[in-house]
Structure 1
Amino acid sequence: MTSSDLRDWLLLIRTPALGARRLREGLVMRGGATGLVAWLRNHPEALSGAGRAWIESPDEDALARDLDWLKADDQRLLCCTDEDFPPQLEAIPDPPAALFVKGDASLLLRPQIGIVGARQAQAPALEVARRFAAELAAGGLLVTSGLADGVDGVAHAGALDAGEPTIAVIGTGPDLVYPSKHRALARRIAEHGAIVSEYPPGTPSLPAYFPLRNRIIAGLSLGVLVIEAGLKSGSLITARHAGEQGREVFALPGSIHNPLAEGCHALIADGARLVQRSDEILAALGPAAMELGAELRARLEGGAAPAAANRPSKAPFDWREDEEYRRLIDAMSYDPVLLDALVGRTGLSPGALSSMLLMLELEGEVAPLPGNRYQRVVR
């Protein structure tokens, strides 16, 4: 990637309200980051007010800091167009467009187990988390967690103490550590594993970012193990993402008198797999790990990996050459139409239509309206 391409990527990542989904769609339509930046500058109406202001006059100091951060040998921007972008993430509903990685980015391709739990976990649960992390890491599953206090931090430390790498997916910029008490742990992770963030350097810890990073923990992992979680725990968000992404969810049972066991019990009642030993997890995830390994081998040998079809294409997208897009346009009029009506007219699923309408919106062919309505743009 040239320095100009990298700058365009960073500019897009920092564009307010663009988001990973629209960024990915735009990359497909415009043939890459440079093409998308040029198109947005020629079509500022496609962005919000803040987005337009940023594209027209970006903060050069912020972009310079990003580029300076990326100069380090162990720090990179891993883009969804890169061949080594994790295929696991391509299959989730809202994959990130790019990841800032400090450490060994190749580890993201390894079979992983997410381990999450309460920040205020009790001492027995922390000991279990440490033991499970060490045993699962020794068994071939790379431990991935969120660097939070409690179970997360202990899981990272357990894997490292067993002589194995670990991945921390964080909800701040890759140059910051939250909580600050984990600075030494973060250094160990960067040296022997990887720290991953979808947020650019300098991004502070905001409450909204942590639930979003949970989808990446789940998405990178073949399964997620929950160790102690209250009924309103963020760990249950990670477990929900895992379930929605088709990943295995494991939960450790606890005492009925422990409020921090209620979340695990609720997961088990909803269908999560109750486990008491690490070898149960290794046995359950063995086939998925082999499948992932076969996919990666096919890619490295030049074969067509299944997830590659979902990657942004380097060729510009033309909706006129796609039969389904033509069917959608034919089903629309210049009057507002509900998404449900388009489902009936086209026979396409709501999810597929939403994605297609977003691409047509970026193309300037369709305008979104309140109430989940859309209409064609008069030219």
Structure 2
Amino acid sequence: MGRLVGTISRGLRAPIIHQGDDIANFVVDAVLAAAESDNIVLRDRDIVAMTESIVARAQGNYASIDDIAADVKAKFGDNTIGVIFPILSRNRFSVCLKGIAKGAKKIVLMFSYPSDEVGNHFIDYDLLDEKGVNPWSDVLTEAEFTEKFGNPIHVFTGVNYIEYYSELIREQGAEVEVIFANNPTAILKYTDCVLNCDIHTRVRTKKLLRNAGAKIVYGMDEIMSSSINGSGFNENYGLLGSNKATEDTVKLFPRNCKELVDRVQKMLLEKTGKHMEVMVYGDGAFKDPVGKIWELADPVVSPGYTDGLEGTPNEIKLKYLADNDLAGLKGEELNKAVADAIRSKDSDLKGQMITQGTTPRRLTDLIGSLCDLTSGSGDKGTPIILIQGYFDNYIDD
């Protein structure tokens, strides 16, 4: 056994970043200042991560509701638009919906139920059973939904999203009709022009709609995928990953993140002599067991990372090893046997029993989730994360 402290995740405070700031210099300066302030010894394979928010802010990657409306109008014309599977989030969807509505004459808004894609619940599954409703087959009008379930208020925000989203649409001059269904093709009874707003199932949803005869199908990833009148854009994700900036603008997911992290990595090597890994992170990927919310409302956890963060962990389960192969050993003999097992482990342990119980996820998803939990989403003021010892194991000094 080497060092007695393993992984350390630190949130680094930094000034507020503004449009046009050099984000690479901003991040490098913050890391060097924190290291000097707290006597942190930087090492090879330390991880420096920055939240996607400061990257997009520095890039000035913003779009207004007028920009969104112009793109929607160009793609859908005067057709009634089926807007399906929105998530229940004022931060994530309200301004996007304003823009969509401003570019439409009528919207049929189709909610999934009993929850949205990321786990915001209208109602509990138990209530579905009580009312005899099958969410996989039953399509409900707003009146039918209200008759069975009342006017559901979100447990954390206190918002009635049915009323809230409907009013946002009306305020932009569009007509709105609300239905509830989980089969995307249910919308085709109302209109064959569809904007699907789901995040992680968007490819399948588009395929099902097109195969069922939809005339026009776009996803949120295809709205604001190019600049409208000089606006920001994201060629890969469009409006996905956006957040409310003001009442009339959204901050889009950042662009060119691979180029940025490679530049930061090079600058850190030049200034410290250490080869560190660098990533941009958004939402973590984990589920709240009480609120039932699955955090990941971004299209990916990390839109850009250095090559050393590619892959999945290749770890043996020490508990399994100690309870099975080395069950008869104790003390220094056990420590030596564990160390020997770690040194001699295969370069690819996939499928071996000795990995049972380790986390089978991508490194970027694991590390990005750690970063998101470390930085928080409020007023901590730590948009840059320094992680040390993540790639260490039991025997490293």
TM range (shorter): under 0.3
Q: TM-score, structure 2 length as denominator?
A: 0.23
Which structure has greater helix proportion? 1
Greater RCO, 1 or 2 (C-alpha within 8 Å, sep 6+): 2
Q: Quick check: which has more Rg, 1 or 2?
A: 2
